[in-house]
Amino acid sequence: MGDAACAGNARPWSRFVALGDSFTAGIGDPEPRSPGGFRGWADRVAEELSEGNRDFGYANLAVSGLVIRQILEQQLGPAIELKPDLVTLSAGGNDLVFHRSDLDRLAASLDDAVGLLTATGATIVLFTGPDGGGTPLFGHIRGRVAVFNENLRTIAARHDAVIADLWTLRQLTDPQMWDPDRLHFSPMGHHTIAAMVLDALSVSHSLQPLQPKPLPSGSWRENRAGDLVWFTNHLLPWAINQIRPGADGVPRTAKRPEPGPVAVSPSTGTAPLVQPRSVG
């Protein structure tokens, strides 16, 4: 773990930049008052880190639907130019789910990118993939995700990066942690992941664990019918969108291209708003 992450409750960071795809853009956690219409774990982390720091800036360069190569080509350079002292990089989900990408090549490209980010002196946070062995979509790629995760752990050790370990976050095995599309996390899932990231950074925070209510058990026929509805209404349109980007209406531009403060809505005092500002 990097020196900055060991600083504990001091919250030493003043400029946080998030890189990634739909996971980091917050898809599955709708909030009309947030840029792009989604909140997500990264916004929640920024809200906590900004407490008591009026100079805190947060940028989110994530764009839904990107593979690792696209994330690094489009976001790595702009992220470095923003001079962050905290960077989160989550990439690979689309490579693993929708492409038969070579795992060693993916690791090599990530290794080079993390090396460039580490050279800036920033604290780097990397994400393992979740353990979806109990789901119809992720179960068949569980072994590939496990290998990808081991490569990530090696990269993190080499560059003294922090691991945000979705694989060992067992709460994510609850269906209520996931959006109905079973591809993205629900608001509860994003909340749980945000708390885990803050814990990985050794930062005290106000995010309390959320306990999903037990779901009623359905019959085999009901479960199979639910799988068919999910395939028709969610997986098939998502797969088509990988060929025809933008068909699902999800934003395809960076969520917050410039660092800005995290504010609280004066109307309710509860729903955080993000207000991008120019850095000159």
Strand, coil or helix: what is 45?
A: helix
pLDDT at site 31: 93
Per-domain residue ranges of the chain: 4-208+250-274
Do residues 92 and 68 touch, judged by C-beta distance below 8 A? yes
The pTM of the full predicted model, rounded to 2 decimals, is 0.82
Query: How many Cα atoms occupy the beta-carbon half-sphere of 130 within 13 Å?
Result: 25
pLDDT at residue 27, as a whole number: 94
For residue 206, what pLDDT is reported? 94
Residue 120's pLDDT is: 96
List, as one string, the DSSP characters of 59-101.
EE---TT--HHHHIIIIIHHHHHT--SEEEE---HHHHHH---
- Bridge partner residues of 123 (DSSP): 86
| CATH superfamily placement of domain 4-208+250-274 | SGNH hydrolase (3.40.50.1110)
Across the 280 residues of the chain, what is the mean pLDDT of every consecutive 10-residue run?
49 95 95 91 97 93 94 97 98 84 93 98 97 72 93 98 96 88 90 97 93 59 49 53 54 86 51 40
Tokens at residue 266, please?
């004066």
